[in-house]
Amino acid sequence: MGDSRPAQHSDVLILGGGSAGYACALRAGQLGLSATLIETDKVGGTCLHRGCIPTKALLHAAEVADVTRAAERFGVRATLTAIDMAAVHAYKQSVVDRLHTGLNGLIAGRGIAVIQGVGRYVGNRTVVVDGNPYTGRAVVLATGSASRAIANIPIGDRIMSSDHALQLPEIPRTAIVLGGGVIGVEFASMWASYGAEVTVLEAMPRLLPGEDDWSSTTLERALRRRGITVKAGATVTGARQNGAGVAVELAGGEAMEADVLLVAVGREPRSAGFAEAGIATDRGFVAVDRRLTTNHGGVYAVGDLVAGPQLAHRGFAHGIYVAEQIAGRDPVLLADQLIPRVTYAHPQVASVGLTESSAREQYGDITAIVYDLGGNAKSQILRTAGGVKVIRRGRADSGGPVVGVHMVGDRVGELIGEAQLMVGWEALPTDVAPFVHAHPTQNEALGEAVLALAGSPLHIHA
């Protein structure tokens, strides 16, 4: 390595300070282990600085715009005169800065060493930063993911990734979003709320292809009602910046133009250099066993480096799980299908467990119930539409446990906790039916769907 100085050693050496990495460090410190965190940029990673938090702050500002625009529907006379993007970004950044300060305080309080710089794993449980070697009794690879690029669509001033879109100083008059997954749908929803004319292009037959068919259909219908154009099954063959805008070409010869193009076709793992160090990879993801161990003894991989849902809370869970393993405990790793998912659009989409098609493929005989939010008092107060879909194994009257919950509607992401408990604990509808849900809340919609599966619906017309 060209450096004869002794390596600095700790119990847990973590490469990457994002959700998975810092969660691992915090839990390790809590368990009495010495931990060193190596981070190129700021602790908190993509989620805190370029992903979950700033995006949701912008989406909340978009919600405020929507509510203001619709104020007269509620008897409030208000006028939306303008959206000051500089002020919106200042609000967004204030949220990020406050959370970042709090996170730094947590890390300092646990005695975690933070090394600023580009780390390179070189094998033998060693990471080199600026020529200095650091070693660990265990090494945790937590370098996360980055926006996926498309070879024939170069990123520029008006063709942008989500990182660039988060900093856009003005609202585009027209926007094309390439990709109808979570990131694409959230940006499309946000820009439409800000007043842009938005088109979403998705190569798959439907938006949010990882969600239940019903959720995708319900969401697409709602977005179209908001004036968002959705083109599913659309293949983009090329795009180029064209004067003050961008030109997009689709298979079949169709052409489109807009002020900006957002490329939101997913994220890819930041795993460059690991294979050269002998770490086994598969399609760019680090190969791990069921305990998140790599092919190098004492070396783990967590978060977006591991194939599966690319979610910050999955990263938290991975980091905590690995720290507890290193501390000699016997933790249980939650299966990916039990990790809740939320798309923070208007309306929101939330789910946990199996989709109807996956449940049918796995179990054969299933029963699915959809409760329309039209029958839920709080949803009517909020003027939101959508529904709650609950899936159980077997017949409605005598089947097995709940295996999937899917919800569409404003604020339904706040209902996912109870849904996760249902699916995670393999609850029977008759186990949950006696629960009393406060009135009027949207939680009642989830309760009504379960009552229907238990054979005793209260507010569903027979």
Asked whether the beta carbons of 177 and 264 are under 8 A apart, the reply is: yes
pLDDT value of residue 407? 98
| Sign of the Cα pseudo-torsion (20, 24, 30, 31, in order) | positive
Q: How far is CA 131 from the centre of its chain?
A: 35
Asked whether the beta carbons of 12 and 323 are under 8 A apart, the reply is: yes
pLDDT value of residue 65? 97
pLDDT value of residue 85? 97
Helix (H, G, I), strand (E, B) or coil at 149: coil
In the chain, the domains with their CATH numbers are 8-147+268-336 (3.50.50.60), 159-265 (3.50.50.60), 347-453 (3.30.390.30)
- β-bridge mates for residue 353, sequence order: 404
Residues across the chain: 462
Q: What is the DSSP string of 344-374?
A: -SSSEEEEEE--HHHHHHHHS-EEEEEEEGG
pLDDT value of residue 7? 59
- Residue 154 to residue 160: CA distance in whole angstroms: 9
Would you state the structure tokens that stand for residue 410, as one six-digit string? 């404003």
From the list 243, 245, 267, the residue with the least C-alpha distance to 256 is 245
395-424 pLDDT, tens digit each: 876 789 999 999 999 999 999 999 999 999
How many Cβ atoms sit within 10 Å of the Cβ of residue 357?
A: 11
Ranges in the chain, pLDDT < 50:
1-5
Mean pLDDT, rounded, of the chain: 95
- Residue 352 to residue 345: CA distance in whole angstroms: 17
Catalytic: 49?
Answer: no
Sequence-ordered strand ranges (E) for 26-144: 35-39, 113-116, 119-123, 126-129, 132-141
pLDDT value of residue 2? 40
- The active-site residue out of 164, 346, 439, 461 is 439
Q: Where are the alpha helices (DSSP H) in 122-231?
A: 162-165, 182-194, 213-225
